[in-house]
Structure formats: structure tokens, C-alpha cells
Amino acid sequence: MHTDITELLDMLSKSKHNYDFDMIKSAFEFAQICHEGQFRKSGEPYITHPIAVAELVASLDLDTSSICAALLHDTVEDCGDKATIEIIKDKFGNEVSELVDGLTKLVAIPFNDKEEEHIENLRKMFLAMSKDIRVIFIKLCDRLHNMRTLSSHYEYKQRTIALETMHVYAPLAHRLGMQKIKQELELLALQYLDPIGYDEVKKHIEEKYGKNKDFLDNAQNNIANKLNEQNIKFGIEGRVKSIYSIYKKMYNQNKSFEEIYDFYAIRIIVDTELECYTVLGIIHEMFNSMPGRFKDYISTPKPNMYRSLHTTVIGRDGIPFEVQIRTWEMHAVAEYGLAAHWKYKDGTNDDSLDNKLKWIRTILETEHESLDPDEVLRPLKIDIFEDETFVFTPKGDVINLPNGATGIDFAYAIHSAVGNKMVGLKINGMIAPIDTVLKTGQIVEVLTSASSKGPNRDWLKIVKTGEAKNKIRQWFKREKRNENIALAANDFDRELNHYNKNLTDAEKDTILLNLAKRHGIQSADDFLNAIGYGAISISKISPRIKSEVDKITTSGIETPTPFANIQHESKKLANTKNTSAVIIEGLDNCQAKFAHCCNPLPGDNIIGFITKGYGISIHKYDCPNAVKGLQDPESKDRWVTASWSSSSAKSNTLYQADILILANNSISLLSDISMALSDLRVDILSMNSKSGKDGITTINLSVGAKSTEHFNNIISRLKNIKNVFEVTRGKS
């Protein structure tokens, strides 16, 4: 590696751009001073790295500011005593300093949780992209050089960096259309992630190419002669499919090496789009085409702007090969993606660039609605591991969707308002279910209705695209907040029940708030809302919930003092407002639920607890959880005075009441209990019995009771049953 910029300046001098050589030299000299005395893991002077990154940036035909930022990209991070953003702004101007600042902010920051760190770094990356796409071009060049020199790191670090490259940076390069960088990143990463698989595929390629090494040359010569006869100006090149492309098809798609039909490929580059189709006709005249292997990415470009004609034909030796046909500008975009914009458009002030970056805004929106890294990254990976489906609107517009996309995906691809009002679907004029998986070439029409109640939550499990999921979540977030919170609270309670811990409401709320803060959310309600509309999956955070439960239950809580001594600590509020069957002082229209730990009945002395996720939880005054909760200094102020409304005693509403029965073993015992309750017209909600070796049967019974008076009548009747010797309220 070299420690000067002679080669870089030579590259730039051959370019058509008007580079500011003095500014570039000045940036190099400043970087050289900053990195003086610093060395890479390989032992080379550190300055070799920013020079190499600047050369890669120059190969993309980027501008002076980008090359200066590449030379300076590590100065602020690694040389804080010599370089700051303010110094760089003063020396090289606002544009360079903003690029360096964007690159500096992409450096990983420490987090308590790896998933949290991953989400935050993705957020910073997409934010930087939305402000100036050149930040990511430089970052990709930085990552490419780091991958080229990865051998100097120890094995664990190699695998960690290679894995991040494969999951984030290669898909990012792909989504930006930068195929040359994407392919090299994949190839380098594969060598560290699966060296055995890499060597196996490489060996297959060498053996197959060795047997047919003259095949490509002969095919190219024949095509070239035919095109010359037609007086078409062209460029032609042949290639063997890359190791990673074959690896991906063999291992991800479970194909054998012999099933890789596009092992050989010939690329033909012409001047005009019309000539592309002319050449296609000539190729199909010369060779037999393979059915189902033609794709027109010119009329329907890929999401990353890739445009080309693809066809697979059979050579004269019976060997299949792929032919790609494109113009020179299409070729530049295929190789360099969005970076080619600087080659064909001198500068960045172009509305077309904004249009090409719309997908970044979609990712940013998805990132805000989802806290799942896989979900955030999904828009990057579209069409890497799956083919596209092209369908048409009734007006003939082409809609590009991933394989497996449904009618719902199609509706949201048109507009969120269309998806939200969707009530039906027509495919080729025929009514079809809205979850029908679409196929290329179909004409699809969405049926909408102004009276539609909006999307269904089940749609989130059906749709394929991140865009559709994001728009559905946005609707539920906006329109169904209370419902989201209620559903999520139920899911959260159900998850806590798995751990068989007798948690107080205060402890549950502590767990909930801790989880919220770990996700960067300050309010328990907002956290439950995020679960409710699908941004956070309960199943994915289950390990974190268990961790919080373990913390709470092992922290050691003092034995509660007698309740009589602390009843007066219940919060007193001035105004009394009615809330359904109970009256809560100071609160109006508040959702109340009855705590399952004690199941209060009308007539019981009760107290309310203000939860952070699901309204007021009503407990009996002497409930052990209420006793314990009132002792806790952090939660005692959230207990409020509650009482039954005058209508509750007259209502026919049934409340769950638990009964513990102890009796001597008897064949007719359960039958006698059932008959007694039937005589009283009491609903049995559940009944479980267990017989002990001592001849005593324990029965846990849940019934529907209207009030304490009604419940006491039930208890009296049960006590008169033969063999029953004890009946109490509560569970064993």
C-alpha cells in the first residue's frame, strides 16, 4: 500500500470532472498530520486506509467534496485532539464537514443490548442517507477496503465484521444498485463465514470452466460477427457466474451445481434502447431460447434502478448461457447504481435523484414503526433472495412486487388510502380473495368502499412487503390506540402468567416501564401501543420479560406489616366520579378491571390501583397484593379510594368468585357440589379437585356471584354438603 496520493491524482486527472486538486492535496496533508504515528492491525501506516478509500470513491466518479471527505473520514473519530468538525468546516467548507460529520456519526456507540445497538446504528445510517447519499457511498468504500484487509484481524472479529457486511452492507450496496461493490463484499464475506462452502463452489467452477474454457470465446466471436454484419456498434464481454451467486443458489435455493443454467453469461452493450431489442431478436435467431428464462428489466426496472434484457439460450454445444443486453448508460447504472448519477449528471441538484431516494424515506418510516432489525432491513433485501412479480393496474401501469405478494400488498403499493379502504379484489376481471398471491402479467383491480372500517390485524401476517406492513401499522397506531393498549395488556399478562409468579400490579408496571425504556420509549402506554399495532413482537421480547420478572422476584421484598396499620395511606382525592360498577375518587370515564388475585365482589371493601397500561385495577382492601403495594414508597401514591356504585348491588352482573373446599373423599362429592350449585342457579366457571393420601380432597371452585351477600349464600349451601368440612373464599 502507498502512503502518498500520486495514484489518486493520476486517476482524477484522467476523469472528465473538474476536480479541485489543491483542495484534495490539502485534505491529504491534513489527514497525514492527524494520523501520524497511527498504524493499522497489519502494521501499515494508518494513512494508507483513507488513501485507499479515496481511490475507491474516485473510481465511482464522485466529486471533490466526496474525495476530501474520504481522506478525512476517520480524523474526527481517531484524532480528536487534532481534528474537530469545526476545524474541518473552517479548512474545507460546509459540504465536506457535513459529509465527515455524517460518517463520524455512523461509528457504533455502546448499548446495553445488541438488538438495541443494531436498531440505533441502522437508524443513524438511514438518516445519514436521507440527508446526503454520498455519506453511504463513502461508507461502502470504507467497508470494502476494511474487508480487503480483514485477514489481519483475529478470527472472531473477522466473522463479526463479515456477518455485518453480509447482512447490512452488501444488501445496502445492492439496493443502491452498486453491483460491483456488492459482489466483492459478498465474495469477501463468504470466505470468512463459510470457507468450506466457498472452496467447494470454487472447485466446481474451476472444474466446469476447465472442461469448456473455449466455449465463451467461441460464443462471443459468433455473436460479434453477426452484429458486425448488421452494422451495430457494440461492446461485448463474457464472464463466469460469481462464486457467491452460485453458492447462494445452491445453498439457499437447494439447487445442485448442474441446475445453475446461467453459469456462463455474455453481456452486450449498445448505444440505444431500440438496439437492445434488435440485438435480442438476433440472439434468438442464432440460438434456441429456454422457455420462461426471458426477463425485460428495461420496460420494468428492478427496485434498485437496474435495467437490462435477460435471456437464456442453448449454445451449439448444448451448453446453456445467459445473454444480458443493455445500453452504456444502463451499464453504468448496473455497475455503480446511484453513484452513476454523478457520472451522467454533473452535480447533485436534480429532482430525479430525489425520486430515486424515495425508498430511503420508506425505510425511515418503517424504522419508526418497527423495532425489529429484520423488519427494518427488509426493504434493503427485496429481490436479493427472491424474484419479482410484475402486475398491471387497469390503466396499464406496472407495479413491481416481490414474489409471494398478495392483493393487499398491491393495494398499499398504489396508495395507503386504497389499502385502508380495500374491500375486494379483481384479477383479470374476476373477483378474487384479497389475500390471493399475485402472478406476473395479471391485471389487478382493488375494490374500495367509503364505509370500510379499515384494515384487519390479520393482514399483518398475510402481506409480504415492508411497505404494506408499515402502512397497516400506521393506521392502527393512529386510529386504534386504546384498542392496541388493551390487546397488548392482555398479551403482556398472558406472557407473565407463563412464569407462575404472584406479581402485584405495581411490580407488573415496573416490569412494563423497564421494558419500555429499554426500547427507547418513556411511557408504558406508548410501549403497549407499539406492541398492539405490531412494532414490537411479544414473542421476540419474551427473554427480556423473563429477565425483568427474575429481577423483580429475586430483589427481596420485606414482609408486609398488618394492613390495619397502613390503610390510611390510600390516596384521598376530592371529587367522586362514577366509573361503571365502581366509584373512583377524582377519575372520570376510566377503564376499570377486577384483579384476579382477589376477585372483589359488590359488598367488599375495595381499593383501586392506577396502572400504567390498563386503567384502574380494583382489589379487595385486605388483598395481600394491595397490602404489599401500599408499603412500596414508589407506588403507594397510585392507590386511590374506590367504592361500589349504588347500582352494582341491584345489577344482575356476575363476578368471578373463588372458593376453596376441603372434604373427605367420596364418590358422589363432585356430583353433590354440582347439584347444590345447580339448585341455587349458580354458574360454575371452573372446578378442579385433587385427592391426597390422607383421604382429604381439595377442590378449587370458581363461580359467578352477584355480590358478597349472594356469595355468602353459596358458601352456606356448600357447607351443608355431606363430607364437606371446610369452605373458604379464595384459592389453595
With cut-offs at 50, 70 and 90, classify the pLDDT of residue 347: very low
More confident residue, 351 or 138: 138
Q: Would you state the pLDDT for residue 575?
A: 34
Helices (H), 421-565: 459-462, 466-479, 481-497, 505-518, 524-532, 542-554
Q: For residue 453, give the amino acid letter.
A: K
pLDDT at 552 over 70: yes
Q: Would you state the pLDDT for residue 103?
A: 81
More confident residue, 103 or 351: 103
Identify the active-site residue in 7, 29, 74, 78.
78
- Write out 699-716 in H/E/C secondary structure: EEEEEEECCHHHHHHHHH
Per residue in 358-414, pLDDT (tens digit) is 555 555 555 444 555 555 555 555 444 445 688 888 887 778 788 889 999 999 989
Strands 724-729 and 696-705: unpaired
Q: Distance between CA atoms of 376 and 388, rounded to whole angstroms?
A: 20
Say what the pTM is: 0.55
Rounded (10°) CA dihedral 188, 191, 192, 197: 140
Rounded (10°) CA dihedral 426, 429, 432, 437: -80
Q: What percent of the chain has pLDDT over 70?
A: 82
Q: Distance between CA atoms of 187 and 366, rounded to whole angstroms?
A: 29
Rounded (10°) CA dihedral 324, 328, 329, 335: 60
* Torsion-angle region of 730 (φ positive above 0: left; ψ -120 to 50: alpha; else: beta): left
Q: Would you state the pLDDT for residue 277?
A: 94
Q: What percent of the chain has pLDDT over 90?
A: 23
Say which DSSP state 521 is in.
Answer: -
Can you tell me the mean pLDDT for 505-511?
Answer: 81
Q: Distance between CA atoms of 593 and 349, rounded to whole angstroms?
A: 58
Q: Distance between CA atoms of 616 and 592, rounded to whole angstroms?
A: 5
Nearest to 313 by CA among 334, 295, 287: 287
Neighbouring CB atoms inside 10 A of 217's CB total 10
Per residue in 672-719, pLDDT (tens digit) is 888 888 888 888 888 888 888 788 899 999 998 988 888 988 999 999
With cut-offs at 50, 70 and 90, classify the pLDDT of residue 585: low
Q: Distance between CA atoms of 487 and 544, rounded to whole angstroms?
A: 19
pLDDT at 127 over 60: yes
- Write out 244-313 in H/E/C secondary structure: HHHHHHHHHCCCCHHHCCCCEEEEEEECCHHHHHHHHHHHHHHCEECCCCCEECCCCCCCCCCCCEEEEE
- Write out 310-337 in H/E/C secondary structure: EEEEECCCCCEEEEEEEEHHHHHHHHHH
Beta bridge partners of 371: none
Identify the active-site residue in 77, 335, 435, 495.
77
| Contact assessment for residue 725 and residue 685, using Cβ atoms and an 8 Å cutoff | no
Max Cα–Cα distance, the chain, nearest Å: 110
Q: Would you state the pLDDT for residue 189?
A: 92
| Contact assessment for residue 239 and residue 261, using Cβ atoms and an 8 Å cutoff | no
Question: Which segment of 366-380, 551-565, 623-637, 682-696 scores lowest on mean pLDDT?
Answer: 551-565
pLDDT at 129 over 60: yes
* Torsion-angle region of 254 (φ positive above 0: left; ψ -120 to 50: alpha; else: beta): left
- Write out 546-603 in H/E/C secondary structure: HHHHHHHHHCCCCCCCCHHHCHHHCECCCCEEEECCEEEECCCCCCEEECCCCCCCEC
With cut-offs at 50, 70 and 90, classify the pLDDT of residue 283: very high
Can you tell me the mean pLDDT for 591-607?
Answer: 85
Can you tell me the mean pLDDT for 217-224?
Answer: 91
Tell me the three state secondary structure of residue 606.
Answer: strand
Q: Would you state the pLDDT for residue 570?
A: 36
Beta bridge partners of 690: 698
Q: Would you state the pLDDT for residue 272?
A: 94
Mean pLDDT of the chain: 80
| Contact assessment for residue 83 and residue 91, using Cβ atoms and an 8 Å cutoff | no
Q: Distance between CA atoms of 615 and 712, rounded to whole angstroms?
A: 30
| Contact assessment for residue 40 and residue 20, using Cβ atoms and an 8 Å cutoff | no
> What's the half-sphere exposure (Cβ side, CA atoms, 13 Å) at 597?
20
pLDDT at 614 over 70: no
Catalytic annotation on 78?
Answer: yes
State the cell numbers at 544.
Answer: 427480556
pLDDT at 514 over 90: no
Question: Which segment of 162-166, 389-393, 470-474, 539-543 scores lowest on mean pLDDT?
Answer: 539-543
Catalytic annotation on 505?
Answer: no
Distance set, CA 411 to CA 120, 407, 422, 516 (Å): 31, 6, 7, 33
Q: Would you state the pLDDT for residue 559?
A: 33
Per residue in 15-29, pLDDT (tens digit) is 877 889 999 999 999
Nearest to 464 by CA among 440, 436, 424, 433: 436
φ and ψ at residue 447, rounded to 5 degrees = -95, 125
Q: Would you state the pLDDT for residue 482?
A: 79
| Contact assessment for residue 28 and residue 5, using Cβ atoms and an 8 Å cutoff | yes
With cut-offs at 50, 70 and 90, classify the pLDDT of residue 278: very high
Rounded (10°) CA dihedral 12, 18, 22, 27: -60
Distance set, CA 421 to CA 49, 447, 466 (Å): 54, 8, 19
Helices (H), 81-233: 85-92, 94-105, 114-131, 134-148, 155-164, 170-175, 179-193, 195-211, 215-229
